[in-house]
């Protein structure tokens, strides 16, 4: 019996997979608006729509559309995509998200524990609006350390878009509005450190530094890896030998000691911005070797393809052939490699700053915040100082899952 399937708005067409192949209606469907066009192609963003009767023909879909379909099947990668987007969007608006000034000290709240939102007070009364208790400071009768306890007699309701400490958004726009906070006094969602500074506000501000170092460092490594890997794979011969020996030499040096040596060479009197870019360059100097090897392997297999020979015969320059013709042919693999390299950059900055060889105060990063947790005695007394570890772990796992999903989606025809 001849196998046929019906497309809305068009004639009945035999299956392109063959007369004896079963057709999956969930896969072989097309949007009504495309049924009569004859092209069957839809832009990649069109599949975001979840309207009823919105269909995709996998036999005529574009490469990017097939990649997006396969990527969405990787649930962890799909969720991680939104986490990564949230991290970078949050890092752009840290001044608005942070409830307090991250550098402001308050000696009345030294090592204050987290103030958790409540709906029921100590007397059992329920409130629709969340609130936090006030705080009072005293001294532990055994250790004589200052301790901060809740004061049930003072209730501070949490409100949206409250007025707080003044700030300059991106260093350009002055403002005082915070997304969430209390109208009077201060709120410390994750407690305070030894100087009475809000840990949550410092973590939020540290997100901008740590996340941007990972992104900028990977972009620099991407350019270096693409350039040297492309030259090595395209020209071969002596050029390939020299570049590969350099890569092998850099790869043979232990990363942490090399980073420590390069970081220690930075002058101590540099400005915070200069230190930031110096650490970024140091991290990216080592990270390009892995991508360069991937690019070299792809170029070795592509340099004798017909489209490369056609570009050479048409008079195109070497760099134009590399960046205009060869690189786009495996761009999806490069994107997956970049997403897997970003968490390594973030962990490198965190490790250097934790050891005191990376970023230094007054710069706020996740690694700088973990310096407060170097003492076991301090952590035992104030365990909330380890909260930045949770943000680091979640961000690194999100990038790893995202990279796995992109790597699988890069070849949508594999099984």
Phi, psi of 389 (to 5 degrees): -60, -40
pTM of the full structure: 0.77
Place of tokens 């329920």: 126
Cβ–Cβ < 8 Å for 167, 176: yes
Check: CB of residue 214 under 8 Å from CB of residue 334. Answer: no
pLDDT, tens digit, 9 for 90 and up, residues 130-187: 999 988 887 777 777 778 888 888 889 999 999 888 888 888 889 889 999 898 888 8
Cis peptide before 362 (omega within 30 of 0): yes
- What percent of the chain has pLDDT above 90? 18
User: What structural domains and CATH numbers belong to the chain?
Assistant: 4-61 (no CATH), 106-197 (no CATH), 202-409 (1.10.3720.10)
Tell me the mean pLDDT in the region 88-112.
89
Classify 280 as helix, strand or coil: helix
pLDDT surpassing 60 at residue 10: no
- Please state, in angstroms and rounded to a whole number, the distance separating the CA atoms of residues 305 and 206: 47
Per-residue pLDDT at 328 exceeds 60? yes
Smallest CA-to-CA distance from 382 within 390, 392, 393, 374 is with: 374
Cα 132 from Cα 176, distance rounded (Å): 21
Does residue 370 register a pLDDT over 80?
A: yes
């Amino acid at each position: 019996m001849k196998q046929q399937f019906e497309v809305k708005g068009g004639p009945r067409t035999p299956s392109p997979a063959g007369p004896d192949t079963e057709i999956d209606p969930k896969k072989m469907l097309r949007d009504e608006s495309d049924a009569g066009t004859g092209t069957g192609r839809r832009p990649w963003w069109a599949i975001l729509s979840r309207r009823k009767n919105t269909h995709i023909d996998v036999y005529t879909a574009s490469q990017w559309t097939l990649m997006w379909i396969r990527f969405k099947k990787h649930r962890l990668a799909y969720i991680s995509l939104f986490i990564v987007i949230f991290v970078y969007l949050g890092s752009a608006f840290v001044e608005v998200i942070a409830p307090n000034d991250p550098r402001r000290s308050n000696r009345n709240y030294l090592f204050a524990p987290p103030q958790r939102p409540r709906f029921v007070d100590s007397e059992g009364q329920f409130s629709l609006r969340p609130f936090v208790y006030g705080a009072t400071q005293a001294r532990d009768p055994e250790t004589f350390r200052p301790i901060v306890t809740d004061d049930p007699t003072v209730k501070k309701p949490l409100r949206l878009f409250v007025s707080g400490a003044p700030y300059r958004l991106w260093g350009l726009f002055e403002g005082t509005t915070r997304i969430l906070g209390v109208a009077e006094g201060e709120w410390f969602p994750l407690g305070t450190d030894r100087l009475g500074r809000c840990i949550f506000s410092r973590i939020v501000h540290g997100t901008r530094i740590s996340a941007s170092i990972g992104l900028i460092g990977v972009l620099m490594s991407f350019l270096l890896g693409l350039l040297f890997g492309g030259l090595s794979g395209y020209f071969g011969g002596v050029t390939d030998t020299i570049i590969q020996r350099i890569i092998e030499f850099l790869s043979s040096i232990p990363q942490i000691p090399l980073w420590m040596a390069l970081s220690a060479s930075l002058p101590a009197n540099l400005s915070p911005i200069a230190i930031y870019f110096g650490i970024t360059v140091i991290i990216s100097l080592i990270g390009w070797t892995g991508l360069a090897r991937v690019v070299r392997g792809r170029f070795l297999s592509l340099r004798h393809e017909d489209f490369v020979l056609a570009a050479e015969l048409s008079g195109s320059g070497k760099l134009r052939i590399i960046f205009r013709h060869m690189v786009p042919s495996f761009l999806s693999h490069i994107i997956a490699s970049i997403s897997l390299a970003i968490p390594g950059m973030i962990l490198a900055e965190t490790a250097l700053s934790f050891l005191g060889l990376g970023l230094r105060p007054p710069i706020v990063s996740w690694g700088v915040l973990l310096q407060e947790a170097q003492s076991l005695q301090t952590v035992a007394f104030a365990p909330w100082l380890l909260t930045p570890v949770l943000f680091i772990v979640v961000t690194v796992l999100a990038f790893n899952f995202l990279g796995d999903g992109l790597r699988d989606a890069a070849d949508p025809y594999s099984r």
